[in-house]
């Protein structure tokens, strides 16, 4: 049975689209049951509607507290068949911190993508912060979500060269290509039950140690990407 999945978005939803595309290609054994956004004009909602997936705008400003907003999200997610036993929640550009109450409803079942090599450059401007700092390697991370921003155990990371003087937008565009590879890959492993957490270490069963990119897109990804998830 496909893993029930809820996706939370606040913007364009390109990572949502990458997940939907891999599900359609038969590479992720999951079904997106509902897409929620705290922004009524988020294009991610339209991406869901184009696939006949339930899309719900839930403005956080309509709620008296963060706890009340998150409680309603939990109710809606559960109502549509996503629970901690069999399902998962993916954050795809969701620009709000989740409350402890939300995370307790889905322990070790909430995942996020961040455009930096954590623990470096957490926060909302990961790629821009990396470019401004002058790093020579940048990248992205998929991690389980805990109560601290961009802090939970890392599932998979991808690194790309950062060029001196390169602006944050150019670096973010190259990182985004790999976000669209590693996020679906991580969700595929989660759906197959291949991920476990020991202390802060995420173990991914039966994976290659690393994937090296090409001249067209130099990168290093660990654990290694499987065929079908590699950049083209």
Active site residues: 114
3-state secondary structure of 196: strand
Sign of CA dihedral 26, 227, 84, 20: negative
Round to whole Å and give the CA distance between 139 and 148.
20
Round to whole Å and give the CA distance between 34 and 152.
24
Q: Is 52 buried (19+), middle (13-18) or exposed (0-12) by CB count in 10 A?
A: exposed
Output DSSP code: residue 162: -
Round to whole Å and give the CA distance between 139 and 181.
12
Enclosing H/E stretch for 105: helix 100-105
Q: Is 151 buried (19+), middle (13-18) or exposed (0-12) by CB count in 10 A?
A: middle
Vertex 16: Cα angle to 13 and 19 (nearest 5):
155
Enclosing H/E stretch for 68: helix 66-79
| CB neighbour list of residue 44: distance below 8 Å, 6 or more residues apart | 7, 9, 10, 11, 12, 13, 16, 35, 37, 92, 93
């Amino acid at each position: 049975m496909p893993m029930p999945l809820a996706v939370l978005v606040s913007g364009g939803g390109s990572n949502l689209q990458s997940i939907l595309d891999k599900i359609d290609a038969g590479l992720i054994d999951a079904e997106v049951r509902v897409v929620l956004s705290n922004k009524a004009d988020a294009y991610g909602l339209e991406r869901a509607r184009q696939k006949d997936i339930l899309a719900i705008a839930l403005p956080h400003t309509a709620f008296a507290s963060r706890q009340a907003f998150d409680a309603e999200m939990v109710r809606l997610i559960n109502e549509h068949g996503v629970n901690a036993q069999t399902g998962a929640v993916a954050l795809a550009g969701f620009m709000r911190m989740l409350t402890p109450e939300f995370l307790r409803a889905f322990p070790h079942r909430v995942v996020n993508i961040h455009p930096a090599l954590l623990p470096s450059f957490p926060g909302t401007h990961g790629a821009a912060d990396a470019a401004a700092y002058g790093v020579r390697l940048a990248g992205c991370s998929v991690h389980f979500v805990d109560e601290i921003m961009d802090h939970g155990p890392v599932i998979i990371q991808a690194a790309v060269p950062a060029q001196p003087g390169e602006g944050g937008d150019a670096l973010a565009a190259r990182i985004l290509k790999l976000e669209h590879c590693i996020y679906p890959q991580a969700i595929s492993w989660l759906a197959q039950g291949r991920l476990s957490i020991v202390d802060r270490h995420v173990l991914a069963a039966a994976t290659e140690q690393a994937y090296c990119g090409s001249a067209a897109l130099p990168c290093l990804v660990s654990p290694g990407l499987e065929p079908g998830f590699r950049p083209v």
